[in-house]
Structure 1
Amino acid sequence: MKKLILVAAIAATSAGAVNAATIYEGKGLTYKLKGDLQVQLRDNASQTKDAEIEFDDLELKNSVIYDLGSGMKAFGQLDFGFKNAAEDKSDYNGSQLEEAYIGIDFGGFAVAAGKQNYATDEFGVEGAYEHYEAEDAFDEIATDGDDVIRFDASTDNFTLVASTELKAEGEGSENGSSYDLFVATELGGVELAAAYQTYKKTPSSDSLDSWGLSAAVDLGSVELGADYSTTDTGTEDLDIYNLMAKFEATDTTSVGVGVTQQELDSSTDVTQVYANVTYKFPTQKNVSLFAEVSDIDEDGKDLDLDMLMGMRIKF
């Protein structure tokens, strides 16, 4: 599940960023490289498709941080993904630029501008390796953009993220505009979060409003989480529910179970029930093996089990 940490702007300036390899550090400059390589064999629920090798993710993330003194840092982020190229998608012959932004961290507060995730991308509890449909309402609409200004702020138990994507009307990057807000806090050991988005696909489109609530608790060997989000897709209302539990079976093995329910006003409902297991090597916790099986129930469709197994390496 997602924790109360800033995973974009402020996290990029953290000298102790998780899984990041420090390539150079000196004279107030730090350059970090982070990788996430996941390859899996998957036979999805469709009866018309055979099993294949999937890539999710294949990412390299570059972070440049300058210490400006007086508690301030300047940072830049440049991230590349290779998933589409690896899967021979026709529109991608090489890498795909996923994030490119710069900003300033003032210590507990940061502002960044560029190609990056919306504030609402932080929403939700995580349980499944693969979702048959969108994992939440924001994922259904939009969670990132090219002309994004984002503000991140945090204290010991409170997180606030706000972002806006400019209309950029008439420019080549005119592909959507939004206002997004994410807030989270911890009360009595329970992590509570809320998110809101108003989005326009084009400058002349009607606004699509989405919001969501989530709760999560870490009980040591067991983590529990739930979220609810809803949106107006432009033609009908969409509600998505998530329930998940994660159990630490041993020091190296965890088991996750959960359900995702998608409800539309006039269309068929979709329910995904899943279970997965993850093994992390005791000498290298950033290397893991995993497997997952999901049962998909969609009215009017005869679907098989969605099954996958794979390996992940992070640094």
Structure 2
Amino acid sequence: MKKTILAMAVPALLAAGAVNAATVYDQDGVTVTIGGAAEVQIIQEYEFNQQDVDLDVRLDDGELNFGIDVAVSESLTALGYFDFENEGGSVKNTELWAGFKGDFGQLTAGRMYTFWDDTNINEDIELGLEGVDSSLPASGNDVIKYRYDGDAFWFGVAHNLKQNGSEEETFKDVSGNLVREVTVNNATHTDAGVGTSFAGVDLAAYFIAAEKTPTVNDTKNDKIKSDAFQVSAVYNVDAFTVGASYTDFEQKTAGAQDKDKSGHYVELLAGYGVGDFQYYLGYNFGENDDNSEGSNIYANATYKMHSNVKTYVELGWAEKKDASGNTNAKDYGDATGFLVGMEVKF
């Protein structure tokens, strides 16, 4: 799942089987689907002040997933799903869940994405959403999730039970010496979403409340609490798309607000599709409560060579200012980036 400085944004899979998955077995009420993708990019990422980022060949996506549907009765279906992704040169099981669906909705449990993963209307490929330091959980290993889809509306809630995360190793410069730090987070979160569609307009709202307690080198630190909400509206008419969203988020450590990790951001989107081409233009602006801020413009074009093959290009510009409005500080300033890429999937 791609993560940006501002937020995380890759759509969650809400039902067994991925988009464009192939059915490999369908008999006696049992359906098995398989899907996958291979995506490669040549990318020049943003270089802010005192940064040196080389042109890179990014293996952006390598994925293989399986979905299982079993018709238990005319009104009840059992579900199973698991997904493997290549991340950083290693294969990771990103989803593994089971549950039921029927007229009551869909109830699942296991390792999966939660509703906050569906936030953000941006259609950038890699070069959008810069400037605000917000990191909110959008998945978990111990998730219980419910979703209901009506004729013109949907709603759902997910809760990730409290769990210890994997060890995160970093090295900190202390008086010229590198000191190893190992952090383990005891974390939990709850999020929810609701949406409706009418006359070409899609409206949605999301909320999340999360907490974690980091243990650094076997020493328990103060509890960190975060919450956020987002509202969005997207209008589709013929080949045109326009949209806007607003997100507000806050983080507190031991009850005191972390101003550099609290704030808001706005997304604006315009799109146009013609034939096998799709074009998007987006603008994003965010501001933290310590007065640091960032803005971003991106434009991309995608050519659909086949229902399972697409190529694309993207250009982006971003600017980041520190709490004093300074663009000359380390990791701040303005920068441009570009990429070309290709995805093959089934």
State which of 87, 92, 96 in structure 2 corresponds to 1:96: 92
Q: Is 1:280 aligned to residue 285 of structure 2? A: no
State which of 180, 191, 200 in structure 1 corresponds to 2:202: 191
**Which residue does 2:22 correspond to in 1?**
21
Q: Is 1:241 aligned to residue 269 of structure 2? A: no
Q: Describe how 1:148-163 pairs up with structure 2 within 5 A.
A: 148-163=143-158
Distance 1:160 1:80, change over 3 A: same
Helix, strand or coil at the partner of 2:125:
coil
The answer to whether the 8 A contact 2:45-2:337 is kept is yes
The answer to whether the 8 A contact 2:131-2:293 is kept is no
**Shift in Å, 1:202:** 2.9
Helix, strand or coil at the partner of 2:124:
coil
The answer to whether the 8 A contact 1:127-1:245 is kept is no
Distance 1:134 1:102, change over 3 A: farther
**Which residue does 2:193 correspond to in 1?**
182
Helix, strand or coil at the partner of 2:40:
strand
Rg larger for: 2
The one-letter amino acid of 1:285's match is: S
**Shift in Å, 1:8:** 3.0
The aligned length equals 294
**Shift in Å, 1:18:** 3.1
State which of 311, 321, 332 in structure 2 corresponds to 1:289: 311
**Shift in Å, 1:122:** 1.7
Q: Flag structure 1 segments of 5+ consecutive residues without an equivalent.
A: 1-5, 86-93
**Which residue does 2:288 correspond to in 1?**
264
Deviates most, 199-208 or 33-42: 199-208
Q: CA RMSD in A?
A: 2.5
State which of 220, 225, 228 in structure 2 corresponds to 1:210: 228
The answer to whether the 8 A contact 1:293-1:306 is kept is yes
**Shift in Å, 1:169:** 6.9
CA deviation string 1:220-277 (max 9, x = no partner): 11011111111113312221211111101x3111111001212112152111101000
Q: Describe how 1:45-124 pairs up with structure 2 within 5 A.
A: 45-46=46-47, 47-85=51-89, 94-107=90-103, 109-124=105-120
Give me the whole-angstrom Cα distance separating, in 2, the residues matched to 1:19 and 1:135. Answer: 34
Distance 1:105 1:62, change over 3 A: same
**Which residue does 1:219 correspond to in 2?**
237
Helix, strand or coil at the partner of 2:335:
coil
Give me the whole-angstrom Cα distance separating, in 2, the residues matched to 1:233 and 1:66. Answer: 42
**Shift in Å, 1:178:** 1.0
Q: Is 1:255 aligned to residue 256 of structure 2? A: no
The one-letter amino acid of 2:313's match is: A
**Shift in Å, 1:133:** 4.5
Give me the whole-angstrom Cα distance separating, in 2, the residues matched to 1:257 and 1:174. Answer: 37
Normalising by structure 1, we get a TM-score of 0.86
Normalising by structure 2, we get a TM-score of 0.79
Q: Is 1:305 aligned to residue 301 of structure 2? A: no
State which of 4, 8, 24 in structure 1 corresponds to 2:13: 8
The one-letter amino acid of 1:150's match is: K
The answer to whether the 8 A contact 1:123-1:182 is kept is no
**Which residue does 2:174 correspond to in 1?**
none
Distance 1:268 1:7, change over 3 A: closer
Give me the whole-angstrom Cα distance separating, in 1, the residues matched to 2:130 and 2:194. Answer: 21
Structure with more of its chain in strand, by fraction? 2
Q: Flag structure 2 segments of 5+ consecutive residues without an equivalent.
A: 1-10, 168-183, 215-221, 253-257, 322-326
Give me the whole-angstrom Cα distance separating, in 1, the residues matched to 2:166 and 2:334. Answer: 43
Q: Is 1:39 aligned to residue 40 of structure 2? A: yes
Give me the whole-angstrom Cα distance separating, in 1, the residues matched to 2:159 and 2:122. Answer: 24
The answer to whether the 8 A contact 1:135-1:240 is kept is no
Give me the whole-angstrom Cα distance separating, in 1, the residues matched to 2:240 and 2:308. Answer: 21
The answer to whether the 8 A contact 1:255-1:278 is kept is yes
The answer to whether the 8 A contact 1:192-1:216 is kept is yes
Distance 1:71 1:277, change over 3 A: same
Identity across the alignment (%): 26
The answer to whether the 8 A contact 1:20-1:35 is kept is yes
